[in-house]
């Protein structure tokens, strides 16, 4: 068994930010492991400019933020293992990593960590309808990986299901990649994501059908037709409102749920929170879970977006460094206060409010459950 | 709100939020039209303006307000807006033409003097347009800004062009 000061599972925005903050404060053995072949999480798929504060890289494209984080991580001596999955979490902060070797083999490495930060992100939800297993039907995130990372068009005519920011943004990016987006279908009576994202695809000619759903996908080799119908107020399809759309791709953007396998392996106390996408680990204002020394950050603690993931990561990085003695309480408090101020800003307004309420519920529930 | 139900903004909504420049201002030359009416955590436009004509302040979710007296319609904010929600409109371009400048992140880009189909906020073709310029400097960070000349009567409607 080897030992490290801090081991972080997940090299997305939250994990990298945590690593950078801790290393910046002076932590020397900071290791980030990620099961993907490249670090960066979903950042390298995000070719659009991010919202947020101009003081904090907003207006910068996700892909560029990813590169900046990797440069900083390198500068501060953060070690990153790619192609390496965290497969076990044991008492006294022992974490098992299936480490990918250059030879292509895997080696199981157990690490005694002083602090562990779980930044495992979220996974896409699926929607089932008749024909949903036909080739050409995929998660919006998968389509985004195809066009923005692998530069492969998933097809030519796309029907997008779901009008949250993922559905809206990926629709836009599919058009940038040269696809036609035939329609965006949303079961709710209102568009879920930001109006500015919706406006972008509307002026590019994409119709948005609110109060509609997909009834069936048809096709032999792959999807070739999509049947949609209008929904009544009880979300039931209204007979006679069916429309047939010609499409060879259907992308599903029906929300995400936190990835909590490691969280459950070690019995971190969880709470169900619908606004955050499902079961999430409880934590305090340092992002420390109910297991001392294990921190949880980013979408693992509730599905939000990259900016909040970055800030939560920074918070845990500072808190872990403080506990390891690299920051005085005064210095750490000042850093954490700044981060919380930014987090509060990101959780304001009609879109952020629900998440602010959800986060406050989780924080309020912590003191009792920690005992 | 049309924006929430249909995905596009109407002039009425812009006026309601005080985001539609006055006719007097339009008569004086190019001016920015900020089509951002939802309180989202975003403020790069504020820092983008060299004349401090856009104000957001705190909290970061406050809607941007344009000081139309300070705005010169330079268009620097167009490429800085992550929501691609800022346009400039010049209703004084010529006797019968106005120009609209909009962000356009598609390839191929149009070229100067090309005749394109100008579209409204719903993507419908409203008229032909003539490309006046296409700016894509490094500072715009891969958000080219296209300026199209159109018949004056469509200046409040045209917000993009049909993709090629």
Segment B148-161, tens digit of pLDDT: 999 999 999 999 99
Quick check: A369 pLDDT over 60? no
Q: What is the pLDDT of residue B1?
A: 66
Cβ separation A198–B41 shorter than 8 A: no
Q: Percent of chain A at pLDDT above 70? A: 99
Contacts of B119 in chain A (CB under 8 A): 203, 205
H/E element, A100: strand A94-100
Neighbouring residues of A184: CB distance < 8 A, sequence distance ≥ 6:
A159, A160, A161, A162, A163, A167, A168, A171, A201, A206, A207, A208, A209
Q: Is A336 found in the same domain as A300?
A: yes
Neighbouring residues of B20: CB distance < 8 A, sequence distance ≥ 6:
B11, B14, B33
Q: Is A262 found in the same domain as A115?
A: yes
Q: Is A190 found in the same domain as A142?
A: yes
Q: Is A248 found in the same domain as A131?
A: yes
- Are the CB atoms for A228 and A215 separated by under 8 Å? yes
| CA atoms in the 13 A half-sphere facing the CB of A190 | 8
Q: Is A240 found in the same domain as A99?
A: no
Q: Could you read off the pLDDT of A244-260 as tens digits, one per residue?
A: 999 999 999 999 999 99
Domain, as residue range, for A145: 126-252
Domain boundary pick from A228, A252, A276: A252
ipTM > 0.85 for the complex: yes
- Testing the interface with B: which of A162, A186, A190, A196 to mutate, by most B Cβ within 10 A? A196
**Interface residue ranges in chain A relative to chain B, Cβ cutoff 8 Å:** 48-54, 58-61, 163, 175-176, 189-191, 194-206, 208, 210, 307, 345-352
Q: Is A25 found in the same domain as A172?
A: no
Domain boundary pick from A222, A252, A282: A252
Q: Is A179 found in the same domain as A133?
A: yes
CATH number of the domain encompassing residue A228: 3.50.50.60
Domain boundary pick from A200, A230, A252: A252
A-chain residue closest to B9, CA distance: A199
Domain, as residue range, for B118: 2-161
Q: Could you read off the pLDDT of A114-168 as tens digits, one per residue?
A: 999 999 999 999 999 999 999 999 999 999 999 999 999 999 999 999 999 999 9
Q: Is A324 found in the same domain as A346?
A: yes
Contacts of B38 in chain A (CB under 8 A): 194-196, 349-351
- Are the CB atoms for B122 and B8 separated by under 8 Å? yes
Q: Is A181 found in the same domain as A323?
A: no
Number of domains in chain A: 2
- Are the CB atoms for A202 and B121 separated by under 8 Å? yes
Q: Is A39 found in the same domain as A7?
A: yes
Neighbouring residues of A340: CB distance < 8 A, sequence distance ≥ 6:
A285, A315
Number of domains in chain B: 1
**Confidence bin at A371 (pLDDT 50/70/90):** very low
User: Is the backbone of residue A274 left (phi > 0), alpha (psi -120 to 50) or beta?
Assistant: alpha
Q: What is the pLDDT of residue A370?
A: 47
Residues of chain B with pLDDT under 50: none
Q: Could you read off the pLDDT of A251-291 as tens digits, one per residue?
A: 999 999 999 999 998 889 999 999 999 999 999 999 999 99
Q: What is the pLDDT of residue A183?
A: 98
Q: Could you read off the pLDDT of A62-86 as tens digits, one per residue?
A: 999 999 999 999 999 999 999 999 9
């Amino acid at each position: 068994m080897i030992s490290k000061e801090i081991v972080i599972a997940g090299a997305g925005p939250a994990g990298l930010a945590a690593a950078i903050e801790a290393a910046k404060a002076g932590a020397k053995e900071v290791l980030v492991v990620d099961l993907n072949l490249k670090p960066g999480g979903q950042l390298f798929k995000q070719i659009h400019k991010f919202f947020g504060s101009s003081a904090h890289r907003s207006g910068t494209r996700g892909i560029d933020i990813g590169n900046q984080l990797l440069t900083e991580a390198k500068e501060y001596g953060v070690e990153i293992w790619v192609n390496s999955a965290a497969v076990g979490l044991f008492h006294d902060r022992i974490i098992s990593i299936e480490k990918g070797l250059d030879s292509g083999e895997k080696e199981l490495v157990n690490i005694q960590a002083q602090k562990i930060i779980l930044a495992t992100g979220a996974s896409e939800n699926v929607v089932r309808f008749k024909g949903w297993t036909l080739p050409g039907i995929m998660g919006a995130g998968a389509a985004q990986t195809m066009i923005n990372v692998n530069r492969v068009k998933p097809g030519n005519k796309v029907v997008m299901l779901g009008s949250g920011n993922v559905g809206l943004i990926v629709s836009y990016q599919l058009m940038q990649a040269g696809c036609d987006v035939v329609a965006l279908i949303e079961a709710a009576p209102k568009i879920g994501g930001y109006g500015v994202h919706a406006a972008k695809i509307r002026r590019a000619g994409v119709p948005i059908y609110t109060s509609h759903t997909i009834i069936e996908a048809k096709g032999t080799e792959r999807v070739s037709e999509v049947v949609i119908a209008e929904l009544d107020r009880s979300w039931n399809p209204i007979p006679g409102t069916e429309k047939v759309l010609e499409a060879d791709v259907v992308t599903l953007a029906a929300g995400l749920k936190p990835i909590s396998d490691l969280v459950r392996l070690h019995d971190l106390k969880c709470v169900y929170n619908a606004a955050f996408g499902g079961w999430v680990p409880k934590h305090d204002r340092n992002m420390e879970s109910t297991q001392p020394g294990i921190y949880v950050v980013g979408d693992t603690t509730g599905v939000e977006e990259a900016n909040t993931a970055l800030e939560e990561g920074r918070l845990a990085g500072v808190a872990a460094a403080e506990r390891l003695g690299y920051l005085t309480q005064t210095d750490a408090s000042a850093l954490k206060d700044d981060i919380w101020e930014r987090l509060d800003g990101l959780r304001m307004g009609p879109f952020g409010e629900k998440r602010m309420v959800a986060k406050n519920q989780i924080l309020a529930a912590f003191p009792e459950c920690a005992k | 709100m049309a924006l929430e139900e249909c995905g596009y903004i109407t002039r009425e909504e812009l006026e309601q939020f005080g985001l539609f420049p006055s006719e007097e201002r339009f008569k004086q030359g190019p001016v920015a039209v900020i089509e951002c009416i939802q309180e989202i955590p975003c403020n790069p436009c504020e820092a983008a303006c060299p004349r401090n004509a856009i104000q957001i302040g705190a909290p970061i979710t406050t809607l941007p307000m344009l000081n139309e007296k300070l705005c010169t319609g330079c268009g620097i904010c167009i490429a800085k807006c992550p929501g691609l929600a800022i346009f400039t409109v010049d209703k004084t371009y010529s006797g019968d033409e106005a120009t609209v400048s909009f962000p356009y992140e598609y390839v191929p880009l149009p070229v100067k003097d090309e005749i394109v189909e100008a579209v409204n906020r719903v993507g419908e073709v409203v008229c032909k347009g003539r490309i006046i310029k296409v700016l894509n400097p490094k500072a715009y960070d891969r958000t080219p800004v296209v300026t199209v000349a159109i018949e004056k009567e469509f200046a409040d409607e045209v917000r993009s062009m049909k993709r090629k």
